[in-house]
């Protein structure tokens, strides 16, 4: 029988349900599918050791223990890890539920919240019972609506909100997947008589409403009644107590409470038990709960106070009962990965960044260019303030597209240039309205009426649309480019092609490590791969070379010379460029001279004893060279040590770990001198972008050295304790990618909005000299600019809101261009519509950037508390305004935001906001500036790493295995796992891995012979070795930086580093586990609500 075959409609995106007796399950999480054995939940059948604490007074459950649950609890009977079988039912993007609550003092320990079992609505979740019989399952299914789409219920308390989705539905997808995404509404409708909106909820075990008889009352969970159940107080022996909801909601979906105690086995099949349900997937059912009186059928349980503590052994909240990122990602891939995402409809939420999908541009910019925190924004500022959901867009103007999607068309309007609004200067786009037979157009941003120039005139069809609309990219597409006229160029003069200058540290450290020799060898071949336009035979980019230690050496590599000439500038206090002709050259013309120079540099400085370096004068010299050549360009700096030589920009060692957790901690993130900001400003004016490659053996003050790269739109790469044999592959891979990537130079970006909202804040690697223009000396396809919007007037539901991002830049060939991206959003007067159309991944991207900028000016603890408060307010507002009334003991999360707590906890535990003892000040500054310009996909995997089991799927299957949750509980010591977060790559090997697997992968005969810390897998001719190496190559290809592999053996000293990335567990630096943080958030929400 199919799980979905009960009376309610089949979910629109049905997926395999987790295993039940007699049901076949396709393999998920690496587990072979099978007809389930009689006890598929062996791992959860008994009480969990280590959590039997006595409850504190006033609580009926103890706080969750902070440590990761013992590994034994994660073992399934066969010795395999028991993977979270989150329901794979369809996931709707229901409204998110938020509630306003008062914040507790941030210092409160996370674990102090009482334990909250998280349950999906239709069923009460009780983790440790025996699995139900199939008769019970059938009985349950008959009356249960399995997370399918729901028909609207009569509005409760006069508000017409759509169906909220609640917390425990782990299979819900991010804002983009279900009912309110781009799918037709029709398929989301239930058949007549379908169940009312279902919420997954967390019954809070500590809040019981005293019943009339004085007995404690269980928190209630919403879900349909099972056949044969009544609303009265059932006898205590009945498997579930049913507490009645408010009268008007009584019939269609009643609330039931989940008794938390350890259940005796269920005997009678005519009393169906409710399974733990994750949006359609069931877990072990729990039986009757001793010591609980029957609930009083009358009053609802709003805001009830906890009853007297019960002498029950407390249980730890089952991790499988709370929303799983893995499940949400899987569901979105299954639901939305097969169909192209067509951008023609206003305000539709795109698939998740973790889903592979094709985009068809039909008038709105692709989500590869722009992603928003919400695609339906409040009409008024009051509503926005109430919800506290930040309204922001993460814009990646030069994003690289997959080969099957076309790059933006280039439109050439000749000398007249692109057509714009006379008042607000917005560019022609598909949303402009042509009137008076096509002779004029009304601007969609400011409503100004403009004349259409004669050469642009075209007649309108019967719908008022121009008859040539589909022939013109600017009238039919969301993204396109205009060729800019001379008016858009500096000094009204078309630009020259850009130049690259390689500036190489030749101090003792750089020579001794082998860096200089390696770099010079690589540059000989790399110069053939400079970026070029379209079909150009050779790159227009010119190159120059400088070496430096305490002084600078410039090289004349003019093609007419037999040998390169070196000129030394020792007056670093007053930097100038000693030569113009012969410094910047065409690679092909000067190839022999350049090759000769690159051969000579390592020999020239082979015996150097100079350990001191300068830094600011090097950047100054590169900028002056570009200024003299009248072109924009990029400096590639290869630097090894703190610049302590006497010169402008000289730094001192100010590394002080004692400042951590004090009010002065923020100084560690601030530059120690203002000289670099001034220098960066000059670089931006010249279009000089700086990419910095650091090779430190000790503190180099990344916070200060990264200022110029950060403000010029450049990148920072860091290779601590660089050794050629271990790090050359990573460094050379990053360098090749950095040199070859397409860059826009001397760029200015402006974001225009329609009346009612405006851009007020910007995050990223750029400089701003005024409040509207984002200035970028360079911008590549990996960088994003995050923009926050605020209301300045009321918005209109009918017309929606429009954004237009215009980027003016110089291409690699020296062509001046305008790239335009347009996006139309919906506007709403109901909070439920806002919560239904949010994108959690983008929200986390914004919140992380907001927090990482906050540490520059505020104590880290204040920043953390601000994040927690905002998240609690978002969820409290949903709870208060959008969720139907229910017990305060339930945690109800919006479907689109059910992963907000787990992801936010990852941000709070990150090295910047909560460093462990091993994290250096430089590491924190490095990560802080890196995250500032990350896109949504990068922050997603950076904060919640992917953990892939390698030995669960058949060896022949070369596709990427399904990920498992990032927790130690998910690791089985008989398996091998790959963990990646975009910067790091670990291969964890369990101590009990089969000998054959060890031999196939490492070429040694036993676990003990594997070298811990190994960074390259041996190339062996067998299926497993090829599969794993292919998978590693595939993961590296997806990321913008090369991830160096580290092999970690179970119980080895490196394992502590690996466990730092298991973000659902408690961290050594004091970060809460996911379960503890969820309880803490619940407590915060309840405080705000009360």
Per-residue pLDDT band at 1069 (split at 50, 70, 90): confident
Dist CA 878 CA 100 (whole Å): 8
Residues 943-952 have a mean pLDDT of 94
Dist CA 82 CA 28 (whole Å): 11
pLDDT score recorded for residue 841: 98
Residue pLDDT, tens place only, 867-916: 999 999 999 999 999 988 888 788 999 999 999 999 999 999 999 999 88
The Cβ of residue 922 has, within 10 Å, a number of other Cβ atoms equal to 22
Residue pLDDT, tens place only, 151-184: 333 333 333 333 343 443 333 333 333 322 333 3
Residue pLDDT, tens place only, 278-289: 333 333 333 333
What's the token pair of residue 972? 């089985």
Per-residue pLDDT band at 315 (split at 50, 70, 90): low
Among 747, 773, 770, 603, residue whose Cα is nearest residue 687: 747
Q: Concatenate the DSSP letters of all residues of 771-806 into one string.
A: SSPEEEEEEETT--EEEEEEESS---TTT-EEEEEE
Q: Which residues pair with 543 in a beta bridge?
A: 500, 585
Dist CA 477 CA 458 (whole Å): 18
Per-residue pLDDT band at 815 (split at 50, 70, 90): very high
Among 93, 99, 90, 100, residue whose Cα is nearest residue 884: 99
Among 319, 375, 381, 479, residue whose Cα is nearest residue 836: 375
Residues 921-939 have a mean pLDDT of 96
Q: Which residues pair with 789 in a beta bridge?
A: 759
Residues 212-236 have a mean pLDDT of 37
Dist CA 518 CA 732 (whole Å): 9
What's the token pair of residue 948? 């892939």
pLDDT score recorded for residue 536: 83
The Cβ of residue 954 has, within 10 Å, a number of other Cβ atoms equal to 11
Using the predicted structure, report yes or no on whether residue 1051 has a pLDDT greater than 70.
Answer: yes
Kindly report the backbone phi and psi dihedral angles of residue 920, in degrees, each rounded to the nearest multiple of 5, phi listed first.
-85, 160
Burial of residue 193 (CB within 10 Å: 0-12, 13-18, 19+) is exposed
**Residues 86/1086, Cβ–Cβ less than 8 Å:** no
Residue pLDDT, tens place only, 429-466: 999 999 999 999 999 999 999 999 999 999 999 999 99
Among 795, 95, 759, 758, residue whose Cα is nearest residue 380: 795
Among 193, 218, 90, residue whose Cα is nearest residue 143: 193
Of 271-285, 519-533, 558-572, 887-901, the poorest mean pLDDT is in 271-285
682-710: buried (b, 16+ CB within 10 Å) or exposed (e) per residue? bbbbbbbbbbbbbbbeeebbbbbbbbbbb
Using the predicted structure, report yes or no on whether residue 718 has a pLDDT greater than 80.
Answer: yes
Dist CA 200 CA 203 (whole Å): 10
User: Alpha helix locations (H) across 650-723?
Assistant: 675-686, 702-705, 707-711
Dist CA 144 CA 166 (whole Å): 16
Among 324, 318, 262, residue whose Cα is nearest residue 118: 318
pLDDT score recorded for residue 287: 36
Residue pLDDT, tens place only, 664-684: 999 999 999 999 999 999 999
- In the chain, the percentage of residues whose pLDDT exceeds 90 is 66
pTM (two decimals)? 0.75
Dist CA 166 CA 317 (whole Å): 17
Residues 597-615 have a mean pLDDT of 96
Burial of residue 903 (CB within 10 Å: 0-12, 13-18, 19+) is buried
- In the chain, the percentage of residues whose pLDDT exceeds 70 is 71
pLDDT score recorded for residue 299: 37
pLDDT score recorded for residue 129: 37
Dist CA 800 CA 832 (whole Å): 17
Using the predicted structure, report yes or no on whether residue 743 has a pLDDT greater than 80.
Answer: yes
Euclidean distance between the first and final Cα of the chain, in Å? 45
What's the token pair of residue 764? 């990223």
Residue pLDDT, tens place only, 511-521: 999 999 999 99
Q: Which is more confidently placed, 231 or 706?
A: 706
**Residues 470/476, Cβ–Cβ less than 8 Å:** yes
pLDDT score recorded for residue 218: 37
Dist CA 43 CA 20 (whole Å): 15
pLDDT score recorded for residue 314: 53
Kindly report the backbone phi and psi dihedral angles of residue 897, in degrees, each rounded to the nearest multiple of 5, phi listed first.
-120, 20
Per-residue pLDDT band at 312 (split at 50, 70, 90): low
**Residues 169/278, Cβ–Cβ less than 8 Å:** yes
- What integer best gives the mean pLDDT of the chain? 78
pLDDT score recorded for residue 890: 87
Using the predicted structure, report yes or no on whether residue 768 has a pLDDT greater than 60.
Answer: yes
Q: Which residues have a Cβ under 8 Å from the Cβ of 1069 and sit 6 or more positions away?
A: 909, 914, 915, 916, 917, 919
Q: CA 93, 94, 95: angle at the middle one, nearest 5? A: 125
Q: Which helix (H) or strand (E) holds 201?
A: strand 201-203
pLDDT score recorded for residue 239: 31
Q: CA 693, 697, 700: angle at the middle one, nearest 5? A: 65
Q: Is the sign of the CA dihedral 34, 39, 40, 43 positive or negative?
A: negative
Residues 1030-1057 have a mean pLDDT of 95
Residues 1031-1045 have a mean pLDDT of 95
> Radius of gyration of the chain from Cα atoms?
31
Name the pairing type of β-strands 433-435 and 774-780. Answer: unpaired
Query: How long is the chain?
Result: 1090
Helix/strand/coil (H, E, C) string of 106-130?
CCCCHHHCCCCCCECCCCCCCCCCC
Dist CA 215 CA 210 (whole Å): 6
Q: What residue has token string 């997926």?
A: 15
Q: What SS3 class is residue 1021? A: coil
**Residues 102/1088, Cβ–Cβ less than 8 Å:** yes
Dist CA 761 CA 682 (whole Å): 23
Q: Which helix (H) or strand (E) holds 624?
A: helix 616-628
Q: Which residues have a Cβ under 8 Å from the Cβ of 1051 and sit 6 or more positions away?
A: 991
* Torsion angle, alpha carbons of 283, 284, 287, 289, to 10: -70
Dist CA 85 CA 282 (whole Å): 8
Using the predicted structure, report yes or no on whether residue 800 has a pLDDT greater than 90.
Answer: yes
Per-residue pLDDT band at 484 (split at 50, 70, 90): very high
Q: What SS3 class is residue 715? A: coil
* Torsion angle, alpha carbons of 631, 586, 555, 611, to 10: 80
pLDDT score recorded for residue 321: 87
Residues 173-198 have a mean pLDDT of 36
pLDDT score recorded for residue 316: 67
The Cβ of residue 813 has, within 10 Å, a number of other Cβ atoms equal to 16
Counting Cα atoms < 13 Å in the Cβ hemisphere of 849 gives 30
Alpha carbon 402 to its chain centroid, in Å, reads 20
pLDDT score recorded for residue 258: 36
22-33: buried (b, 16+ CB within 10 Å) or exposed (e) per residue? ebebebbbbbee
Dist CA 557 CA 547 (whole Å): 14
Using the predicted structure, report yes or no on whether residue 296 has a pLDDT greater than 60.
Answer: no
Read off the DSSP letter of residue 877.
H
Dist CA 576 CA 513 (whole Å): 30
Dist CA 945 CA 802 (whole Å): 34
Among 610, 667, 690, residue whose Cα is nearest residue 643: 610
Using the predicted structure, report yes or no on whether residue 32 has a pLDDT greater than 70.
Answer: no
**Residues 881/96, Cβ–Cβ less than 8 Å:** no
Residue pLDDT, tens place only, 235-272: 333 333 333 333 333 233 333 333 333 343 344 333 33
Using the predicted structure, report yes or no on whether residue 131 has a pLDDT greater than 60.
Answer: no
Q: Which is more confidently placed, 308 or 687?
A: 687
Residues 74-87 have a mean pLDDT of 38
């Amino acid at each position: 029988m199919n799980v979905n075959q009960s009376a309610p409609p089949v979910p629109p995106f049905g997926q395999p349900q987790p295993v039940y007796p007699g049901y076949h399950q396709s393999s998920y999480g690496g587990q072979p599918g099978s007809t389930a054995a009689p006890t598929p939940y062996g791992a959860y059948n008994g009480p969990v050791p280590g959590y039997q604490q006595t409850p504190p007074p006033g609580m009926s459950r103890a706080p969750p223990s902070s440590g990761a649950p013992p590994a034994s609890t994660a073992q399934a009977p066969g010795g395999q890890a028991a993977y979270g079988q989150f329901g794979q039912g369809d996931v709707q993007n229901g409204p998110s539920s938020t509630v306003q609550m008062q914040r507790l003092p941030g210092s409160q320990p996370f674990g102090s919240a009482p334990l909250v079992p998280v349950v999906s609505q239709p069923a009460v979740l009780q983790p440790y019972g025996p699995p139900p019989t199939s008769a019970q399952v059938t009985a349950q299914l008959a009356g249960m609506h399995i997370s399918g789409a729901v028909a609207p219920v009569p509005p409760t308390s006069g508000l017409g909100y759509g169906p909220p989705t609640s917390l425990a539905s782990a299979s819900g997808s991010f804002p983009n997947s279900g009912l309110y995404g781009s799918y037709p509404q029709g398929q989301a409708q239930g058949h007549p008589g379908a169940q009312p909106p279902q919420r997954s909820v967390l019954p809070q075990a500590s809040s019981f409403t005293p019943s009339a008889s004085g007995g404690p009352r269980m928190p209630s969970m919403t879900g349909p009644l099972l056949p044969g159940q009544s609303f009265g107080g059932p006898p205590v022996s009945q498997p579930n107590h049913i507490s009645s909801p408010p009268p008007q909601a009584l019939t269609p979906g009643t609330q039931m409470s989940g008794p938390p105690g350890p259940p005796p086995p269920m005997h009678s099949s005519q009393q169906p038990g409710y399974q733990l349900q994750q949006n359609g997937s069931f877990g072990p059912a729990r039986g009757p709960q001793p010591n609980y009186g029957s609930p009083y059928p009358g009053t609802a349980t709003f805001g009830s106070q906890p009853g007297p503590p019960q002498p029950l052994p407390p249980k730890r909240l089952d991790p499988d009962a709370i929303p799983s990122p893995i499940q949400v990602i899987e569901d979105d891939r299954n639901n939305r990965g097969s169909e192209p995402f067509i951008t023609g409809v206003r305000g539709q939420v795109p698939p998740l960044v973790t889903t592979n999908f094709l985009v068809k541009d039909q008038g709105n910019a692709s989500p590869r260019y722009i992603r928003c925190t919400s695609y339906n924004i409040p009409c008024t500022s009051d509503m926005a303030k109430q919800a506290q959901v930040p309204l922001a867009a993460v814009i990646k103007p030069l994003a690289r597209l997959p080969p099957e999607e076309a790059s933006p068309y280039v439109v050439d309007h000749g000398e007249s240039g692109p057509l714009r609004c006379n008042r607000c200067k917005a560019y022609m786009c598909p949303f402009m309205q042509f009137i008076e037979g096509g002779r004029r157009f009304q601007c969609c941003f400011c409503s100004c009426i403009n004349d259409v120039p004669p050469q642009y005139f075209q007649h309108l069809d019967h719908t008022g649309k121009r008859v040539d609309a589909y022939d013109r990219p600017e009238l039919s597409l969301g993204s396109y480019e205009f060729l800019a006229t001379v008016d858009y160029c500096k000094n009204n003069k078309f630009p020259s092609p850009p130049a690259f200058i390689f500036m190489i540290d030749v101090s003792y450290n750089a020579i001794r490590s082998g860096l200089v020799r390696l770099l010079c060898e690589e540059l000989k071949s790399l110069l053939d791969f400079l970026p070029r336009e379209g079909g150009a035979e050779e790159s227009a980019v010119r190159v120059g070379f400088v070496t430096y230690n305490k002084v600078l050496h410039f090289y004349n590599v003019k093609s007419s010379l037999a040998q390169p000439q070196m000129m030394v500038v020792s007056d670093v206090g007053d930097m100038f460029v000693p030569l113009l002709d012969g410094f910047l050259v065409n690679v092909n013309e000067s190839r022999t001279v350049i090759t000769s120079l690159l051969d000579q540099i390592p020999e020239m400085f082979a015996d150097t004893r100079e350990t001191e370096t300068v830094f600011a004068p090097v950047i100054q010299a590169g900028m002056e060279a570009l200024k003299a050549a009248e072109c924009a360009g990029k400096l590639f700096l290869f630097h090894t040590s703190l610049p302590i030589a006497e010169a402008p920009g000289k730094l001192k060692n100010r590394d002080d770990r004692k400042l951590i957790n004090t009010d002065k901690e923020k100084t560690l993130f601030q530059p120690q001198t203002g000289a670099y900001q001034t220098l960066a400003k000059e670089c931006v004016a010249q279009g000089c972008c700086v990419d910095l490659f650091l090779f430190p053996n000790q503190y180099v003050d990344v916070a200060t050295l990264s200022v110029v790269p950060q403000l010029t739109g450049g990148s920072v790469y860091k290779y601590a304790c660089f050794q050629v044999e271990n790090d050359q592959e990573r460094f050379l891979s990053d360098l090749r990618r950095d040199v070859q990537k397409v860059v826009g130079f001397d760029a200015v970006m402006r974001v225009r909005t329609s009346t009612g909202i405006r851009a007020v804040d910007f995050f990223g690697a750029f400089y701003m000299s005024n409040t509207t223009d984002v200035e970028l000396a360079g911008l590549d396809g990996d960088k994003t600019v995050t923009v926050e919007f605020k209301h300045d007037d009321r918005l209109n539901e009918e017309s929606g809101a429009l954004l237009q991002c215009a980027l003016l830049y110089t291409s690699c060939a020296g062509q001046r261009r305008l790239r335009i991206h347009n996006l139309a959003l919906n506007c709403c007067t109901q909070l439920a519509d806002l919560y239904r159309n949010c994108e959690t991944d983008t929200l986390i991207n914004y919140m992380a950037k907001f927090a990482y900028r906050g540490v520059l000016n505020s104590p880290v603890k204040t920043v953390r508390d601000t994040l927690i408060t905002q998240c609690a307010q978002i969820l409290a507002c949903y709870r208060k305004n959008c969720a139907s009334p229910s017990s305060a003991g339930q945690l109800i999360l919006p479907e689109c935001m059910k992963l907000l707590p787990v992801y936010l906890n990852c941000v709070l535990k990150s090295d910047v906001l909560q460093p462990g003892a091993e994290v250096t000040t430089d590491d924190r500054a490095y990560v802080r500036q890196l995250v500032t310009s990350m896109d949504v996909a990068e922050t997603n995997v950076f904060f919640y790493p992917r953990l892939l089991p390698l030995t669960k799927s058949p060896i022949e299957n070369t596709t990427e295995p399904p990920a498992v949750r990032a927790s130690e509980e998910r690791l089985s010591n008989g398996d091998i796992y790959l963990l990646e977060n975009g910067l790091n790559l670990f291969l964890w090997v369990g101590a009990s891995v089969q000998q054959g697997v060890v031999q196939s992968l490492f070429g040694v005969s036993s676990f003990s012979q594997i070298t811990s810390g190994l960074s390259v897998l041996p190339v062996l001719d067998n299926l497993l070795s090829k599969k794993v190496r292919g998978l590693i190559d595939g993961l590296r290809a997806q990321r913008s930086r090369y991830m160096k592999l580290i092999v970690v053996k179970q119980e080895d000293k490196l394992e502590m580093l690996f466990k730092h990335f298991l973000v659902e567990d408690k961290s050594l630096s004091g970060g809460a586990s996911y379960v503890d943080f969820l309880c803490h958030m619940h407590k915060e929400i309840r405080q705000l609500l009360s």
